[in-house]
């Protein structure tokens, strides 16, 4: 249990708050590239409680400006994209992507007012389908060489979804390996092909031992958590017998992302970005290690579940997430259908807009959450000093942050500690876009009967 002050410290992200200062040291996902794909690439963006307008100028350059026009405050999100920038629809003042005022057409030709105006503009970059912005002071950090950024665009797919609660509880469900045995429990096993929202329903390692059955029958995983140079690694072990253990390796990438396996060939890197303190977006890059992805198909699958323009789940609080008591009695633990993203969304939104952590009681299965909050508090303190917080990287250090490795499958009960690393090496060696693995780690990987 924690005090209200402690809960505020780790949830509140306004510009003047300690966490707000820490969060502003990192690149933040602010839109999908898809959102600027139409005829008028201009969109309002709200992030960390601040209002911006995001646009692509006629030359293709991206800009993120404060949303209120510096003349008399009209909304630049309704501006006209023309003449090399964004023009306010009220009196025609024109701004470029760097926030320079280029024209004030209602002023006399001799006016110098333009020269004194500089609209706040944040650095913006586009990486594999996501537009990232840096809201902080000074130079932005370098991007780590995570697989989701290293993989060519054709091997990645980006999407997002609205969650109506604080960013931290949205993140914490992703570093909580125990919940999958309950929240995502299915009472019947079926031989389903791997597809979206069914990560926990595929045939997993062994057709006689579907993942749904492993989660259902081995519901008290051993959870190992360790600090890493990027955040935390979480290993959840479900021992099936003396030979076989189900191993799931996931990662928390500081400050607000996780990297988890979606299948043997694909990972999900997912950020939890505060819109404000009571709403967040998850942004994800799906990264394929085997073949290019079918972006149109992946997008169409998700648009059946999410509604534009807000990327709101069609099953949501307003319709009780599709809750069906009969289904809950006979089919699923939640009664909310088979899409595990809906289950997670219910879980985190049902805790309230900002979970009241003065009333919670943590157990041993929450150890990753406990460690994460400790790291978060440490880094909040660090942000108040001259030291660079975790993952505020320079170019050299950024090159050393790779992967991170994930795994979801059956390994040996004795030797799983090295087995998951070997699985990762094997996957990297197979990825067409991956640089060759150094010789010392490229040794022959032992094959296990029950593996993959
Ligand atoms: S308020 Fe924008 S130009 Fe006047
Ligand atoms: Fe989940």
Per residue in 326-353, pLDDT tens?
Answer: 999 999 999 999 999 999 999 999 999 9
- CA 402 from centroid of its chain's CA atoms: 17
CA–CA gap between residue 331 and residue 186 (Å, rounded): 6
**C-alpha 344 to ligand 2 mean position (Å):** 5
Determine the pLDDT at residue 206.
57
Determine the pLDDT at residue 446.
43
Give nearest CA residue, ligand 1 atom 4: 91
- pTM confidence score: 0.93
CB-CB contact of 422 with 409 (8 Å): no
Pocket lining: 91 vs ligand 1, CB cutoff 6 Å: yes
Please name which of 246, 254, 253, 236 lies closest in space to residue 211, comparing C-alpha atoms.
Answer: 246
- Measured CA to CA in angstroms, residue 448 lies from 417, 430, 436 at distances of 14, 18, 24
Sorted by where each starts, the structural domains of the chain and their CATH numbers stand as 27-134 (2.102.10.10), 145-441 (no CATH)
CA–CA gap between residue 337 and residue 319 (Å, rounded): 13
**Which segments in the chain show pLDDT lower than 50?**
194-197, 202-203, 442-452
Determine the pLDDT at residue 209.
79
pLDDT in tens, 214-229: 999 999 999 999 999 9
Cα-flanking dihedrals φ and ψ of residue 433, to 5°?
Answer: -100, 0
Please, is 385 exposed, middle or buried when counting C-beta atoms within 10 Å of its C-beta (0-12, 13-18, 19+)?
A: exposed
CA–CA gap between residue 25 and residue 388 (Å, rounded): 9
- CA 161 from centroid of its chain's CA atoms: 10
Six-digit token string for 14: 């306004």
Burial call 68-78: b when 16+ CB within 10 Å, e when fewer? bbbbeebebbe
CA–CA gap between residue 106 and residue 422 (Å, rounded): 67
423 C-beta neighbours (distance < 10 Å), count: 24
CA–CA gap between residue 141 and residue 22 (Å, rounded): 12
pLDDT in tens, 305-328: 999 999 999 999 999 999 999 999
Residue of 65, 70, 82, 91 to test ligand 1 pocket, by largest number of atoms within 8 Å of CB = 91
Determine the pLDDT at residue 62.
98
Determine the pLDDT at residue 350.
98
Residue of 71, 82, 83, 104 to test ligand 1 pocket, by largest number of atoms within 8 Å of CB = 71
Question: Which atom of ligand 1 is the closest one to the Cα of 73?
Answer: 1
CA angle 170, 274, 373 (to 5 degrees): 55
Determine the pLDDT at residue 23.
98
Pocket lining: 74 vs ligand 1, CB cutoff 6 Å: yes
**C-alpha 344 to ligand 1 mean position (Å):** 43
Determine the pLDDT at residue 55.
98
Ligand nearest to the CA of 181: 2
CB-CB contact of 366 with 176 (8 Å): yes
The number of C-alpha atoms within 13 Å of 58 and in the hemisphere containing its C-beta is: 9
CA angle 105, 110, 111 (to 5 degrees): 60
Give nearest CA residue, ligand 1 atom 3: 91
Pocket lining: 93 vs ligand 1, CB cutoff 6 Å: yes
Laid out side by side, the sheet with 42-47 consists of 42-47, 50-56, 62-66, 121-122
The 3-class secondary structure across the chain, one letter per residue, is CCCHHHHHHHHCCCCCCHHHHHHCCCEEEEEEHHHHCCCCCEEEEEECCEEEEEEECCCCCEEEEECECCCCCCEHHHCEEECCEEECCCCCCEECCCCEEEECCCCCCCCCHHHHCECCEECEEEECCEEEEECCCCCCCCCCEEHHHHCCHHHEEEEEEEECCCHHHHHHHHHCHHHHHCCCCECCCCCECCCCCCCCCECCCECCECHHHHHHHCCCCEEEEEECCCEEEEEEEEECCCCEEEEEEEEEECCCEEEEEEECCEEEEEEEEEEECCEEEEEEEEEECCCCCCHHHHHHHHHCCEECCCCEECCCHHHHHHCCHHHHHHCECCCCCCCHHHHHHHHHHCCCCCCCHHHCCCCHHHHHHHHHHHHHHHHHHHHCCCCCCCCCCCHHHHHHCEECCCEEEEEECCCHHHHHHHHHHHHHHHCCCCCCCCHHHCCCCCCCCCCC
């Amino acid at each position: 249990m924690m005090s209200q002050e402690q809960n505020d410290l780790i949830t509140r992200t306004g510009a003047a708050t300690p966490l707000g200062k820490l969060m502003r040291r990192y690149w933040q996902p602010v839109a999908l590239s898809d959102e600027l794909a139409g005829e008028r690439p201009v969109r309002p963006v709200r992030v960390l409680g601040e209002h911006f307008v995001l646009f692509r100028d006629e030359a293709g350059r991206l800009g993120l400006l404060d949303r209120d026009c510096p003349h008399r405050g009209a909304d630049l999100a309704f501006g006209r994209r023309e003449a090399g920038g964004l023009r306010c629809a009220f009196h025609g003042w024109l701004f470029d992507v760097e926030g320079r005022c280029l024209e004030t057409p209602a002023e006399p030709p001799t006016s110098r007012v333009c020269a004194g105006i500089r609209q706040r503009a944040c650095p913006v970059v586009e990486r594999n389908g996501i537009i990232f912005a840096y809201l902080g002071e000074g130079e932005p950090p370098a991007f780590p060489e995570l697989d989701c950024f290293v993989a060519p665009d054709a091997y990645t797919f980006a999407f997002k979804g609205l969650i109506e609660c604080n960013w931290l509880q949205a993140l914490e469900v992703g570093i909580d390996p125990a919940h999958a045995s309950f929240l995502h429990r299915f009472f019947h096993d079926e031989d389903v092909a791997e597809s979206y929202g069914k990560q926990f329903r595929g045939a997993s390692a062994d057709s006689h031992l579907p993942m749904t059955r492993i989660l259902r029958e081995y519901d008290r995983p051993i959870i190992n958590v360790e600090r890493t140079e990027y955040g935390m690694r979480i290993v959840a072990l479900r021992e099936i017998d003396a030979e076989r253990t189900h191993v799931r390796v996931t990662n928390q990438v500081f400050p607000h992302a996780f990297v988890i396996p979606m299948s043997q060939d694909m990972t999900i890197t997912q950020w939890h970005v505060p819109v404000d303190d009571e709403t967040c977006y998850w942004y994800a890059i799906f990264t394929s290690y085997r073949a290019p992805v079918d972006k149109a198909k992946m997008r169409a699958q998700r648009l059946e579940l999410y509604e534009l323009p807000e990327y709101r789940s069609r099953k949501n609080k307003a319709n009780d997430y599709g809750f069906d008591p009969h289904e809950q009695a006979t089919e699923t633990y939640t009664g909310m259908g088979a899409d595990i993203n809906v289950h997670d969304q219910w879980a985190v939104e049902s805790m309230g807009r900002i979970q009241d952590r003065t009333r919670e009681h943590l157990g041993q299965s929450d150890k990753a959450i406990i460690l994460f909050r400790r790291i978060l508090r440490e880094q909040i303190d660090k942000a108040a000093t001259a030291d660079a917080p975790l993952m505020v990287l320079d170019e050299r250090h950024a090159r050393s942050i790779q992967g991170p490795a994930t795994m979801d499958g059956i390994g040996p009960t004795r030797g799983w500690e090295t087995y998951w690393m070997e699985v990762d090496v094997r996957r990297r060696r197979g990825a067409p876009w991956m640089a060759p693995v150094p010789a010392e780690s490229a040794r022959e990987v032992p094959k296990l009967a029950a593996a993959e």
